Amino acid sequence: MTALPDFAKRFKRYTSAKLFELKLILNGESDHVYSRFKKAYSMSKKIGQGGFGIVYQGKRLTDQQPVAIKFINRKNIREWGKIGNELVPMEIYMLFKLTGTPSVIRLLDWYQIPEGYIIVMERPFPSIDLFEFLSAHNKVDEEVTRFLFRQIVRTVLELQDLGVLHRDLKDENLLINLETGELKLIDFGAATPLNKSQFTEFQGTRLYCPPEWFLHSSYLGKEATVWSLGVLLYNTLNGSLPFKNEKDICTAHKLGNIPHYSAVTEEFRDLVSRCLSFDPTTRIGLEEILVHPWLNKKCGDWKDLTKRLDQVQLLLNGLYLKEQQLLDEGDDDGPIMIVCDPRIKQESDSGISSIPASEGKKKRSHGFGTRPKSMNPLEPKNNRKLKNARSQDVDVNALDQALNLAHIATIATYRRACSRVHGRR
């Protein structure tokens, strides 16, 4: 009986996607841009979801380059920017602005659709997010932490020089290349222009948020960034977050030094405590972090460091296996009906990217919100999925009943859509 719920959910997603396509046709929407998108990219399984959108893995058909395809719901877009004469979500604007920054994920293309925007980004291979990397190792030593944290600080300083405030720095928003150790910052859904005045609107993950926000509903961009870096630094070496909730964030300074659950040096303790200073005016600056004695200690290259990380090769093997499975499975026909604004160029040579609170190291929270992914409507794949479902221990009568109910619901929704369209005409 385990296959029935999954199959029913897939069928529901498929019918929902086809109904949306039908509504676009009934409302006179053209699908020519959707066809262009399908000629340029293929999409497969979902790889991320959270408060701002949903991300699928895919590939560019011209050269088989792996890509990540993100959908942003229009109702979740709070800030806008301008590229030329075109208004775009702030996430796209920021990524466009950061084109050429090696440590930031690169934008390849974007499309406007009735319900939001599609962003096509590079998908570095073989990479996983830092959350998954740290979970596989539980925790890492100071030298590995230094190797990674040095890259993060330099990236944040690059963003500062370009006037960009990310506002959601955490392990889930950093991709690590398992072969080179290089990090890339992703998910600019909370990003905003950096200014010297205080921010009065919160964006990001609450357990990485500084105490001044909870106490005064305002914060300064640079000081808040340093606090997030302190949380990230502590988490990388200790294998857990320094604070369990908002109360801890606001009262921990009254209880003395933050306890560590790994053997750490005094230089490391000093850097963490200065990043997590309760008073933002006494918090260490970003430039000071870069010249801190702990960060400037010598550390080996990635090849040497991975010799003590026994899970890296296993993670690499898993990534190559998944990528091969993706190639073997072929394309999954469009999870989203795409209707582009003709003003948007079909191809872009510039780069642009994007994925809220872990209360413990083993929990991951995401940040998007979207349309469901569909099954491939091509008959051969549907037959194969049905055959696979029936080959397991499935109650066939219950399966047929579920399909009949879904079919009835589809017809009813179709009739309502038709009646609305005819009523308007």
pLDDT on residue 28: 41
Residue 297 labelled as part of a binding site? no
Q: Which helix (H) or strand (E) holds 348?
A: none
Strand 53-60 with 65-73, pairing? antiparallel
Distance from C-alpha of 321 to C-alpha of 179, rounded to nearest angstrom: 15
pLDDT at residue 368 above 90?
no
Q: Phi/psi at 56 (nearest 5 deg)?
A: -115, 150
Per domain, the residue ranges of the chain are 3-125+331-420, 127-308
Can 3-125+331-420 and 127-308 be said to share one CATH topology?
Answer: no
Q: Give the CATH H-level superfamily of domain 3-125+331-420.
A: Phosphorylase Kinase; domain 1 (3.30.200.20)
pLDDT on residue 196: 84
Q: What percent of the chain has pLDDT over 70?
A: 68
Average pLDDT over residues 80-100: 94
Average pLDDT over residues 62-84: 91
pLDDT at residue 393 above 50?
no
* CB contact at 8 A, 319 and 77: no
Lowest mean pLDDT across 196-200, 318-322, 396-400:
396-400
Query: Which of the two residues, 310 and 205, has the higher pLDDT score?
Result: 205
pLDDT digits (tens, 9 = 90+) for 213-269: 999 999 999 999 999 999 999 999 999 999 999 999 999 988 888 999 888 999 999
Q: At what angle do helices 142-161 and 221-238 cross, to 10 degrees?
A: 160
pLDDT at residue 105 above 60?
yes
pLDDT on residue 232: 97
CATH number of 127-308: 1.10.510.10
Which one of 109, 129, 168, 171 is the catalytic residue?
A: 168
Q: Which two tokens stand for residue 130?
A: 């830092």
332 is known as an active-site residue? no
pLDDT on residue 317: 86
Spatial strand order in the sheet of 127-129 = 127-129, 174-177, 183-185
Residue 123 identity = R
Lowest mean pLDDT across 32-36, 61-65, 112-116, 164-168:
32-36
pLDDT at residue 289 above 50?
yes
Lowest mean pLDDT across 143-157, 281-295, 317-331:
317-331
